[in-house]
Amino acid sequence: MSADADIPALELIDVRAGYGRIEVLHTVDLVVPPGSVVALLGPNGAGKTTTLAVASGRVVPTAGCVHVGGRHVNGLPPEAFVRGGVCSIPEGRGVFANLTVRDNLKLWSHGTSRSLSEIEDMVFARFPRLKERRRQLAGTMSGGEQQMLAVARAVVADAGLLLLDEISMGLAPRIVAELYELVAQLAADGLAILLVEQFAQTALAVADHAAIMTSGVIRAVGDPVDIAAELAAAYLGGVA
């Protein structure tokens, strides 16, 4: 999917999108090169989550093109995006709270060719704590454990592109560090990642590129170091 060296894992061209009659994204252009990590930063309400929703097929853009691995995928349902190699971990806890950990894992086999036992081996090797809890309802685990479970989907999905939305939200710094260790490792394995994060420094530390978004428009794209310098201005300017 993203194997070709020059085809971007994700490309948004002049994308406009929103909810009902309210437009959130006003012509967004964003490229995630193959095998690289892009951090999408910006103040609340900038449209970061909506950008990820467009990239995972949950929101259909009203204009512009969405290319995943070089294929035009506008208007396809989210399931098709998954089959096309997009693994999306949504904001909040991306787990089924009323299902056991095992049932959650069972569902993941939809998107991949792996069997349940294979998935279990991979996940439990990465997060041993989930093994102890595999018969427990996912919703009864701690927030950190739930997020581990959610992010663990990225480990087993045969994805070419991973979309992460604020995986640190409401979690202890120690767990955030643990999750980002995994992100760094996935990136090292060659997975392209688009991540939205409120802790800009955490995100910039793993990112190859960074983009700043305010009011539904990408304001700046560049090297994480340069973007870090522009960040404060962008936030304040965007808010005011």
Partner 1 sequence: MYSITASGLVVTYATSGIFNFAHGALGMLGAFTYWQLTVAWHVPPLAALALVLLVVAPLLGAVVERVLIRRLYGASLSVTLVVTVGLLLALIGVANLIWSPVTPRVLKPFFPNSLIHLPGVNVSAHQAIVVLVSLLVAVALRVFLARTRTGATMRAVVDDPGLVALTGTSPARASQLSWALGSSLAALAGILLAPLVTLSILTLTLLVINGYAAAVVGRLRSLPLTAVGGLALGLAESYSTGYLGGDLPNLLRPALPMFLLFVAVVFLRDTRLRAGGRIVGWSPRAVGLGESVRWSSLLLVVALLAAALAPGGLVDFLSSTLAIGFVLLSLVLLSGYAGQVSLCQLTFVGVGAYVMAKVAPGGSAFGILVVVPVCALLGVAVAVPVLRLRGLYLALATLAFASGMDTIFFLNAFGTGGAITVPRLSVPGVDSNRGYLILLTLAFAAGAVGLLSLRRSRVGRRMSALNDSPAACVTLGVGVNRTKLGVFAGAAAMSGLGGVLLGGQEGLVSGNDFQMLNSLVLLLILTIGGASTVSGALLGAVLFSAFPIIAEHVSFLSQASLLLTGLGAVSIGRNPYGIVGEASRRFAAARQAGRGALASVVIRPSPLRDGVL
Our CB check for partner 1 shows the closer of 110 and 174 to be 110
| Shortest Cβ 97–partner 1 spacing (Å) | 6
| Shortest Cβ 69–partner 1 spacing (Å) | 16
Q: Which residue has the tokens 């085809």?
A: 7
Our CB check for partner 1 shows the closer of 34 and 111 to be 111
H or E segment to which residue 26 belongs: strand 22-32
Our CB check for partner 1 shows the closer of 78 and 237 to be 78
Our CB check for partner 1 shows the closer of 90 and 237 to be 90
Q: Which distant-in-sequence residues (6+ apart) come within 8 Å of 68 by Cβ?
A: 1, 9, 10, 55, 81, 84, 85, 86, 160, 161
| Shortest Cβ 22–partner 1 spacing (Å) | 7
Residue 51 CB coordination number (10 Å)? 28
CA distances 183 to 14, 26, 43, 155, Å, are 28, 29, 22, 10
Question: Could you report how far apart the first and last alpha carbons of the chain are, in Å?
Answer: 41
Q: Which amino acid makes up residue 148?
A: M
Residues forming contacts to partner 1 in the complex (CB under 8 A) are 19-22, 56-58, 77-79, 82-83, 88, 90, 94-99, 103-104, 106-112, 116, 153
Phi, psi of 54 (to 5 degrees): -65, -40
| Shortest Cβ 104–partner 1 spacing (Å) | 8
Our CB check for partner 1 shows the closer of 89 and 218 to be 89
| Shortest Cβ 163–partner 1 spacing (Å) | 9
Helix (H, G, I), strand (E, B) or coil at 44: coil
- Torsion sign across C-alpha atoms 213, 219, 221, 222: negative
Our CB check for partner 1 shows the closer of 64 and 237 to be 64
Q: d(Cα 125, Cα 12) in Å, to the nearest integer?
A: 35
| Shortest Cβ 142–partner 1 spacing (Å) | 18
Our CB check for partner 1 shows the closer of 107 and 220 to be 107
| Shortest Cβ 126–partner 1 spacing (Å) | 18
Q: d(Cα 95, Cα 148) in Å, to the nearest integer?
A: 10
